[in-house]
Every structure is written in structure tokens, then in C-alpha cells.
């Protein structure tokens, strides 16, 4: 489907933010996903035309980063971290429970297009492992049953709060935020908690500091 004039206008707006236009490619691809639900061939062509680079270069970027999807994602993207800490604390069991509930495996959209499921890498959120993401918003300290409950509530159209961010919207809305971060939601939901600050507290108590530039650690 052709990229709309409104989306093209927003792409031009993103390009103006960067001294070197090709630096705009990552948010432009998120914008394409917010409008199209995936990175389409037309979206790739539009990015290439606007930035004066080849479609092969845009395709290379969109296939390198796993946040860019080359097939429809569905209304909600569910990510389950199965890296070391989350895996050890139950991430694999969470993934299996969700896969059974949704009847879908890794990166396979379900028949009604509502949910996609993906095993994801470490989200730098290990303090609250195991974690899952819903449309890239965090759900911390999940269990197989709490993860399935989140999906059930979303399927019923209920409001679901992320554990350190705003209420869940949908995949395309979150993708728009990745293109235009000033979405007015930064103050919503919980942010840093005591557990996340434990390392900083320990460092202060022991007078630890990062080495100055050029010093050995």
C-alpha cells in the first residue's frame, strides 16, 4: 500500500532533526511501522528516496534490528525475555504458557491478527526478571499465570497498566512514540523503584565512582 502523504510529511519532519539525514532512518522505520503495522516495501522505498540511499541499505538496517518487522505484527506485540537471568527465573516457562494460550510460536502472527509472540533478548530490566513486554512496555516479575492473565485482559479489551510506564495502547501507537518520543506519557505509571537503585546505593555507600576518561578501571 502506498505511503500516505501524512506519513511522508512526518518522515520529512524527522529528517530535519538530524545534521546528517541518514541518521533519521531508525525513527523513520518506526514511523513506517506505526502507520503500516510492519516495514513494507513501499516504506523502504520511501525512506530510501527521502534519504538518497539505496533500498538495499534501508533493507539491511530493517533486517538487522529485530524491532523492525517484515510481516504484520497484530494489535499487540508480546515479547518474553529468555536471556540468562530471565530464563533462569522462569522466562522460558512464561514463554511456553503464552505460546500455549495464544496458539502461536515465535514471530508467528495469530489468525485473527490480535497478538504476536516473540522471544526477546535482555531488555536491561533484569532487576525485575523475568520480564515481558507488551507493545514494548514492561511487565515486571511475571509468572506464567500473570502473563496469561495480561493477554486475557487485553483480549477482553480491558485496561492494562504496565508496571513501569503508561497503560498499554497497541503496537502501532508504541511505534509512533519511538518515532516521536514526546507523546506526553512520560509521567504516567511507575518509573524507578528501590530495587532498581540498589546498585547505585551500594556504590555511594562504598565511595565507588566510574573511572575518569583515559583511566584504567
How many chain residues interact with ligand FES (CB under 6 A)?
11
**∠ Cα 76 196 209 (to 5°):** 130
Part in contact with ligand FES (CB under 6 A); list of ranges 20-28, 122-130, 142-150, 154-162: 122-130
| Residue (84 or 146) nearer to ligand FES, CB | 84
Decide whether 73 or 80 has the Cβ nearer to ligand FES. Answer: 80
Asked if 131 is part of the footprint of ligand FES (rule: CB under 6 A), the reply reads yes
C-alpha cell at 129: 526478571
Residue recorded with cell 497498566: 161
Q: Is 134 in the site for ligand FES (CB under 6 A)?
A: no
Report the half-sphere exposure of 167 (CA within 13 A, side-chain side): 7
Binding segment for ligand FES among 16-24, 54-62, 118-126, 192-200 (CB under 6 A)?
Answer: 118-126
Contacting residue, 24, 86, 134, 139, with ligand FES by CB under 6 A: 86
Q: Which of 40, 64, 143, 62 is nearest to 98 (CA)?
A: 143
Check residue 117 for interaction with ligand FES (CB under 6 A). no
196 binds ligand FES (CB under 6 A): no
The β-bridge partners of 64 are none
209 CB contacts (<8 Å, ≥6 apart)? Answer: 203
Q: In this structure, are residues 140 and 100 in contact, taking their beta carbons and an 8 Å threshold?
A: no
Q: Which of 125, 151 has the CB closer to ligand FES?
A: 125
Per CB under 6 A, contacts with ligand FES among 44-83 are 81, 83
Nearer to ligand FES, 21 or 123 (CB): 123
**Residue 150 binds to ligand FES (criterion: CB under 6 A):** no
List 31, 94, 98, 125, residue binding ligand FES (CB under 6 A): 125
- 185 scored as a contact of ligand FES (CB under 6 A): no
Least gap, CB of 214 to ligand FES (angstroms): 30
Interface residue list for ligand FES (CB under 6 A):
81, 83-86, 122-123, 125-126, 129, 131
Amino acid at each position: 500500500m502506498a505511503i500516505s502523504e501524512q506519513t511522508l510529511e512526518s518522515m520529512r519532519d524527522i529528517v530535519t532533526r538530524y545534521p546528517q539525514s541518514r541518521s533519521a532512518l531508525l525513527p523513520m522505520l518506526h514511523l513506517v511501522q506505526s502507520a503500516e503495522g510492519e516495514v513494507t516495501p513501499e516504506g523502504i522505498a520511501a525512506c530510501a528516496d527521502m534519504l538518497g540511499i539505496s533500498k538495499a541499505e534501508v533493507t539491511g538496517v530493517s533486517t538487522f534490528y529485530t524491532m523492525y518487522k517484515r510481516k504484520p505484527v497484530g494489535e499487540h506485540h508480546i515479547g518474553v525475555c529468555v536471556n540468562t537471568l530471565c530464563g533462569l527465573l522462569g522466562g522460558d516457562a512464561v514463554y511456553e504458557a503464552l505460546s500455549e494460550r495464544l496458539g502461536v510460536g515465535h514471530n508467528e502472527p495469530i489468525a485473527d491478527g490480535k497478538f504476536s509472540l516473540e522471544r526477546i533478548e535482555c531488555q536491561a530490566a533484569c532487576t525485575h526478571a523475568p520480564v515481558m513486554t507488551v507493545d514494548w512496555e514492561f511487565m515486571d516479575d511475571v509468572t506464567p499465570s500473570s502473563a496469561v492473565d495480561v493477554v486475557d485482559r487485553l483480549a477482553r479489551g480491558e485496561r492494562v497498566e504496565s508496571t513501569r510506564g503508561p497503560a498499554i495502547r497497541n503496537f502501532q501507537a508504541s511505534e509512533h512514540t519511538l518515532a516521536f518520543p514526546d507523546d506526553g506519557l512520560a509521567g504516567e505509571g511507575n518509573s524507578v523503584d528501590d530495587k532498581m537503585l540498589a546498585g547505585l546505593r551500594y556504590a555511594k555507600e562504598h565511595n565507588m565512582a566510574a573511572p575518569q576518561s583515559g583511566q584504567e578501571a
